[in-house]
């Protein structure tokens, strides 16, 4: 049955621009459609948040954060985001459409992959994540479902919906957002997430590609979480005998339970992967894995979910019937894994019953999770006792200081931005709830932070040092753009000559301003070819230039030990203090001279030129029309420098 026919968006024009043609996939938080941009006449993918979640500010903020984050990642292995907007109850992202399948589809159909195929997929994934990591973002939800493989073979990483800036990652005592099978131990135990959680998830994905199965399994999410915390990911060769040890090492390095032992980001892991691949033979890379591990796959634990932190605490088996009833709700992973939002408090001190400890409030959290999974409600669930506090005064504070104060008070913080001609850029305009209002002591306060005026005048940066110019632009609400360098007679080296646009021109806040920076006064590079090294150094240093000697030498027309080449070349311009590289001559190449006496002038010239010599004729007044060689300046059989001139005497 084609369920897309029942979808109310199919066939509609969203936001007056995007014609929805078909539903591609449905997730826990959003539905993805194939659509046509009627303005640009191109096919794209629309990711539309479920209307039931669009009223939740936290989900909307995460959705918009995805658009902004991915828009900053100009990388061929990242699914591009074109647009973000709302249309009534629909909040959407317009994204690049990739015709093909997901890595999950491949694994479901084929099971284990050949090592070459697994590495061919992993490398572009790590390249994409590496770009994100170096830009300051963590994906936090890497899994086969988020790896797209186009019909043309391109590999792209999608769904940056859980992306966070590295510098804003904080501990959470409430819930973990992610996918059970790919969560790193520190995410489960402490709620922390930096670049190494993506490294861990990629290690799990590599294991799954090599073996066709996940390293940790269980009848409930709690069992999987427990294994992440207390069991190392096994070597893939244990499941697929014959896999090279280098692949075991890659998986072990990426999935080390101690994050300090993992590569620090995807770039470092990519370097390890490339190094490991280089040590594998073609036979090892193309070894066909056994296909016993097939596609019978329960995708419940592959869904992005909000997981109560209480589930990361090891729990003993129930010791009485009441506890058995509480835990029974987790026996079906499909019910548990439906996307929902709820929060828990840290588990209270344990109490002993029959030699086993069980955090009672943790059991309450499990029951809440089961209820939400059964579709009996969604929203924010508080398990604490409902204590209240007041929103502290943070108006006009810098964003970081205000955030620190609210977090110290036990409150969560969300940030929104707004242009303001009154509030200083980076300071708090207002809070929601307002300062002084009564609020639950674990609730969220939204800070409205000033972006300064919507338009900003470009400051006069001429004569500023480059670092100071960049700092001034940032203070004014602008950004430093492309930096080019040029010679200047009146601006010192390293200082700004001009900007584009120029001083006084108005631009939108956040615009990039191009800078031209002085290379100092130009210096004419002297010609030192053919000079001794000592003389060449002296001439260049007298001109205000530095000298570097190349480690290689070349044959040339110049004597051995003299300068054969220089970079920059003679008569070029350089800045004072620039370096000129000198290449030393090994002397000319010596070539045996052909004997051309008695030959015609044309034949003699051709033979000498073919041997690498230049030819000059000596005819004299009596032999202006002669055509026979009677002598040559270097006798036949002797050697002469290649490229030198041989004079032939004509009679």
Q: Which active-site residues does the annotation give? A: 141
Query: Is the distance from CB of 310 to CB of 361 less than 8 angstroms?
Result: yes
Task: Write the DSSP assignment of 504-528 as a string of letters.
Answer: T-EEETT-EEEEEEE--SEEEPP--
d(CA 181, CA 520): 58
CA 461 to chain CA centroid, nearest Å: 32
Report residue 259: phi and psi, to 5°: -60, -25
Cis previous bond, 628, omega within 30: no
CB neighbours of residue 33 within 10 Å: 26
Cα dihedral 123, 125, 126, 127 sign:
positive
Strand partners for 632: 648
Half-sphere exposure of 95 (CA within 13 A, CB side): 31
Report residue 564: phi and psi, to 5°: -95, -40
Query: Is the distance from CB of 490 to CB of 497 less than 8 angstroms?
Result: no
| Torsion, Cα of 159, 162, 164, 166 (10° steps) | -90
For residue 436, what are its two tokens?
């002084």
Q: Give, as one character, the DSSP assignment of residue 346.
A: P
Report residue 11: phi and psi, to 5°: 90, -5
CA 18 to chain CA centroid, nearest Å: 29
Task: Write the DSSP assignment of 258-293 as a string of letters.
Answer: SGGGS-SSHHHHHHHHHHHHHTS-HHHHTPPPP--S
**Strands laid side by side in the 81-87 sheet:** 13-14, 18-26, 30-37, 42-49, 90-96, 81-87
Q: Give, as one character, the DSSP assignment of residue 145.
A: G
d(CA 3, CA 86): 24
d(CA 477, CA 457): 10
For residue 571, what are its two tokens?
């008569």
Query: Is the distance from CB of 139 to CB of 171 less than 8 angstroms?
Result: no
- Find the angle CA(433)-CA(434)-CA(438) to the nearest 5 degrees: 65
CB neighbours of residue 55 within 10 Å: 11
Q: Locate tokens 């995807």: which residue?
A: 266
For residue 459, what are its two tokens?
């400051």
Cβ-proximal residues to 25 (8 Å cutoff; 6+ apart), any chain:
31, 32
């Amino acid at each position: 049955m084609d369920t897309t026919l029942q979808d109310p968006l199919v066939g509609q024009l969203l936001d007056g621009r995007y014609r929805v043609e078909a539903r591609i996939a449905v997730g826990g938080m959003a539905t993805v459609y194939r659509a046509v941009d009627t303005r640009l006449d191109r096919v794209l993918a629309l990711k539309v948040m479920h209307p039931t979640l669009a009223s939740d500010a936290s989900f909307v903020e995460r959705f918009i954060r995805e658009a902004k984050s991915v828009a900053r990642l100009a990388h061929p292995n990242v699914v591009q985001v074109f647009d973000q907007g709302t249309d009534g109850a629909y909040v959407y992202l317009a994204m690049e459409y990739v015709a093909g399948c997901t890595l999950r589809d491949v694994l479901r159909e084929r099971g284990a992959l050949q090592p070459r195929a697994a590495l061919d997929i992993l490398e572009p994934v790590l390249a994409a994540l590496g770009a994100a990591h170096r830009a300051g973002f963590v994906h936090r939800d890497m899994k086969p479902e988020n790896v797209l493989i186009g019909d043309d073979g391109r590999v792209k990483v999608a769904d940056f919906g859980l992306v966070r800036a590295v510098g804003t990652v904080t501990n959470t005592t409430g819930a973990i957002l992610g996918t059970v099978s790919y969560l790193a131990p520190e995410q489960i135990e402490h709620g922390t997430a930096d670049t190494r959680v993506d490294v861990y998830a990629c290690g799990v994905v590599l294991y799954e590609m090599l073996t066709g199965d996940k390293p940790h399994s269980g009848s409930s999410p709690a069992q999987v979480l427990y294994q992440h915390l207390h069991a190392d990911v096994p070597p893939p060769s244990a499941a697929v005998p014959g896999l090279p040890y280098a692949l075991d090492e890659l998986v072990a390095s990426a999935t080390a339970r101690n994050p300090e032992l993992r590569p620090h980001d995807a770039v470092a892991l990519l370097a390890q992967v490339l190094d490991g691949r280089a040590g594998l033979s073609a036979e090892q890379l193309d070894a066909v894995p056994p296909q016993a591990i097939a596609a019978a796959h329960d995708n419940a634990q592959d869904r992005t979910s909000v997981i109560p932190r209480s589930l990361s605490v090891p729990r003993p088996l129930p010791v009485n019937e009441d506890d058995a009833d509480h835990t029974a709700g987790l026996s079906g992973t499909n019910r548990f894994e439906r996307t929902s939002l709820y929060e828990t408090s840290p588990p209270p001190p344990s109490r002993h019953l029959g030699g086993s400890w069980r955090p009672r409030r943790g059991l309450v959290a499990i029951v809440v999770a089961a209820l939400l999974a059964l579709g009996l409600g969604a929203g924010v669930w508080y398990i604490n006792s409902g204590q209240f506090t007041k929103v502290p005064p943070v108006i006009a504070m810098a964003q970081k200081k205000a955030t620190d104060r609210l977090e110290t008070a036990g409150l969560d913080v969300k940030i929104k931005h707004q242009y303001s001609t009154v509030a200083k850029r980076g300071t708090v305009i207002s809070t929601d709830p307002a300062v002084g209002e009564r609020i639950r002591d674990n609730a969220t306060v939204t800070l409205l932070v000033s972006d300064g005026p919507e338009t900003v005048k470009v400051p006069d940066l001429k004569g500023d040092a480059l670092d100071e110019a960049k700092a001034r632009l940032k203070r004014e609400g602008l950004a430093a753009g492309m930096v080019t360098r040029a010679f200047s007679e009146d601006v010192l080296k390293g200082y700004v000559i001009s900007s584009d646009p120029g001083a006084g021109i108005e631009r939108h806040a956040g615009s990039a301003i191009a800078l031209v920076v002085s290379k100092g006064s130009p210096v004419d590079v002297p010609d030192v070819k053919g000079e001794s090294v000592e003389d060449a150094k002296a001439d260049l240093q007298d001109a205000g230039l530095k000298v570097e000697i190349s480690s290689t030498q070349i044959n040339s027309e110049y004597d051995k030990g003299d300068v054969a080449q220089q970079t920059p070349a003679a008569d070029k311009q350089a800045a004072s203090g620039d370096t000129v590289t000198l290449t030393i001559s090994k002397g000319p190449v010596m070539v045996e001279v052909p004997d051309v006496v008695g030959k015609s002038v044309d034949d003699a010239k051709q033979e000498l030129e073919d041997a690498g010599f230049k030819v000059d004729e000596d005819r004299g007044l009596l032999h202006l029309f002669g055509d026979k060689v009677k002598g040559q300046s270097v006798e036949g059989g002797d050697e002469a420098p290649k490229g030198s001139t041989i004079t032939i005497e004509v009679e």
